[in-house]
Amino acid sequence: MSYPKSRLGKLFIKKADLLRELDSVLNAIEDDLESLSGGIRTINFPIAIAAIQDSLTPIPANAVVYSCMVQVVTPYTGGTVIAVGRVGSLSLLQSASDNLPTAANLYQAVQRTPWGVAQLPVRVSVAGAPIAGDGYCVISYSLPNP
Protein backbone atom coordinates (compact mmCIF):
# COMPACT_ATOMS: atom_id res chain seq x y z
CA MET A 1 0.00 0.00 0.00
CA SER A 2 1.27 3.44 -0.88
CA TYR A 3 0.83 6.49 1.37
CA PRO A 4 0.84 10.09 0.20
CA LYS A 5 4.12 11.83 1.06
CA SER A 6 2.46 14.22 3.48
CA ARG A 7 1.03 11.35 5.52
CA LEU A 8 4.37 9.46 5.55
CA GLY A 9 6.21 12.56 6.79
CA LYS A 10 3.80 12.94 9.71
CA LEU A 11 4.13 9.24 10.50
CA PHE A 12 7.93 9.45 10.63
CA ILE A 13 7.84 12.62 12.72
CA LYS A 14 5.48 11.02 15.18
CA LYS A 15 7.65 7.90 15.33
CA ALA A 16 10.79 10.00 15.93
CA ASP A 17 9.01 12.00 18.64
CA LEU A 18 7.84 8.77 20.26
CA LEU A 19 11.35 7.30 20.21
CA ARG A 20 12.80 10.48 21.76
CA GLU A 21 10.15 10.41 24.47
CA LEU A 22 10.76 6.70 25.13
CA ASP A 23 14.51 7.30 25.36
CA SER A 24 13.91 10.13 27.82
CA VAL A 25 11.67 7.95 30.00
CA LEU A 26 14.15 5.06 29.96
CA ASN A 27 17.00 7.40 30.97
CA ALA A 28 14.91 8.74 33.86
CA ILE A 29 14.13 5.19 35.03
CA GLU A 30 17.82 4.27 34.84
CA ASP A 31 18.76 7.37 36.89
CA ASP A 32 16.12 6.47 39.49
CA LEU A 33 17.39 2.88 39.75
CA GLU A 34 20.95 4.07 40.28
CA SER A 35 19.87 6.25 43.18
CA LEU A 36 17.59 3.73 44.90
CA SER A 37 18.41 3.03 48.51
CA GLY A 38 17.30 0.25 50.77
CA GLY A 39 17.22 -2.51 48.14
CA ILE A 40 19.69 -5.38 48.40
CA ARG A 41 22.17 -5.61 45.53
CA THR A 42 24.51 -8.46 44.75
CA ILE A 43 27.97 -8.70 43.23
CA ASN A 44 28.94 -12.19 42.07
CA PHE A 45 32.31 -12.82 40.45
CA PRO A 46 34.64 -15.79 39.89
CA ILE A 47 37.84 -16.27 41.84
CA ALA A 48 40.79 -18.34 40.71
CA ILE A 49 44.42 -18.68 41.82
CA ALA A 50 45.68 -15.12 41.20
CA ALA A 51 46.94 -13.37 44.33
CA ILE A 52 44.66 -10.29 43.98
CA GLN A 53 41.27 -10.37 42.27
CA ASP A 54 38.95 -7.36 42.17
CA SER A 55 35.26 -7.29 41.28
CA LEU A 56 34.42 -5.46 38.06
CA THR A 57 31.48 -3.81 39.84
CA PRO A 58 32.43 -1.54 42.73
CA ILE A 59 30.46 -1.14 45.94
CA PRO A 60 29.24 2.46 46.22
CA ALA A 61 30.42 4.82 48.94
CA ASN A 62 28.41 4.63 52.19
CA ALA A 63 26.95 1.22 51.36
CA VAL A 64 26.44 -1.43 54.03
CA VAL A 65 27.52 -5.03 53.33
CA TYR A 66 25.20 -7.69 54.75
CA SER A 67 26.75 -10.88 53.47
CA CYS A 68 30.04 -12.13 52.07
CA MET A 69 30.15 -15.61 50.61
CA VAL A 70 33.11 -17.54 49.26
CA GLN A 71 32.03 -20.61 47.35
CA VAL A 72 34.88 -23.02 46.71
CA VAL A 73 33.96 -25.12 43.67
CA THR A 74 37.31 -26.78 42.96
CA PRO A 75 39.36 -27.11 46.17
CA TYR A 76 42.55 -25.06 46.26
CA THR A 77 46.00 -26.46 46.80
CA GLY A 78 46.99 -27.10 50.44
CA GLY A 79 48.21 -24.02 52.31
CA THR A 80 45.94 -21.61 50.43
CA VAL A 81 44.14 -18.88 52.38
CA ILE A 82 41.46 -16.50 51.07
CA ALA A 83 40.42 -13.14 52.51
CA VAL A 84 37.79 -10.73 51.18
CA GLY A 85 37.75 -6.97 51.66
CA ARG A 86 38.83 -3.82 49.86
CA VAL A 87 41.99 -1.81 49.33
CA GLY A 88 43.24 -0.74 52.76
CA SER A 89 41.31 -3.46 54.59
CA LEU A 90 41.86 -6.80 52.88
CA SER A 91 39.88 -8.89 55.39
CA LEU A 92 37.07 -6.41 56.07
CA LEU A 93 34.34 -8.82 54.91
CA GLN A 94 35.82 -12.28 55.43
CA SER A 95 39.11 -13.20 57.06
CA ALA A 96 41.24 -16.20 56.16
CA SER A 97 39.90 -18.04 59.23
CA ASP A 98 36.29 -17.72 57.95
CA ASN A 99 36.77 -20.22 55.11
CA LEU A 100 38.68 -23.37 54.20
CA PRO A 101 39.76 -23.12 50.54
CA THR A 102 41.02 -26.72 50.47
CA ALA A 103 37.43 -28.02 50.86
CA ALA A 104 34.63 -27.44 48.35
CA ASN A 105 31.89 -25.66 50.29
CA LEU A 106 30.02 -22.37 50.70
CA TYR A 107 31.46 -20.13 53.42
CA GLN A 108 29.20 -17.25 54.46
CA ALA A 109 29.92 -14.37 56.79
CA VAL A 110 26.67 -12.59 57.73
CA GLN A 111 27.34 -9.05 58.89
CA ARG A 112 26.41 -5.38 58.84
CA THR A 113 29.66 -3.79 57.75
CA PRO A 114 29.88 -0.14 56.61
CA TRP A 115 31.83 0.00 53.33
CA GLY A 116 33.31 3.46 53.86
CA VAL A 117 33.29 6.80 52.10
CA ALA A 118 34.86 5.66 48.81
CA GLN A 119 33.42 3.64 45.95
CA LEU A 120 35.76 0.66 45.61
CA PRO A 121 35.75 -2.83 44.10
CA VAL A 122 35.63 -5.91 46.30
CA ARG A 123 39.13 -7.39 46.61
CA VAL A 124 39.75 -11.11 47.06
CA SER A 125 43.25 -11.97 48.26
CA VAL A 126 44.46 -15.51 47.62
CA ALA A 127 47.70 -16.40 49.43
CA GLY A 128 49.78 -19.53 49.57
CA ALA A 129 50.66 -19.69 45.84
CA PRO A 130 48.01 -22.27 44.87
CA ILE A 131 48.40 -24.15 41.60
CA ALA A 132 44.75 -25.24 41.47
CA GLY A 133 41.38 -24.11 42.74
CA ASP A 134 38.46 -21.91 41.80
CA GLY A 135 35.19 -20.58 43.10
CA TYR A 136 33.03 -17.50 43.46
CA CYS A 137 32.74 -14.48 45.69
CA VAL A 138 29.20 -13.20 46.33
CA ILE A 139 28.58 -9.92 48.15
CA SER A 140 25.16 -8.58 49.20
CA TYR A 141 24.94 -4.89 50.08
CA SER A 142 22.56 -1.97 50.26
CA LEU A 143 22.64 1.80 50.36
CA PRO A 144 21.13 3.19 53.54
CA ASN A 145 17.73 4.88 53.36
CA PRO A 146 17.99 8.66 53.57
Tell me the pLDDT tens digit for each residue of 33-72: 555 567 889 999 999 999 999 999 999 999 999 999 999 9
User: CA of 121: how far to CAs of 34, 47, 91, 128, in Å?
Assistant: 17, 14, 13, 22
Query: What are the backbone angles phi and psi of residue 26, rounded to the nearest 5°?
Result: -65, -40
Could you report the per-residue pLDDT of 28-39, keeping only the tens digit for each?
655 555 555 678
Question: What is this structure's pTM?
Answer: 0.75
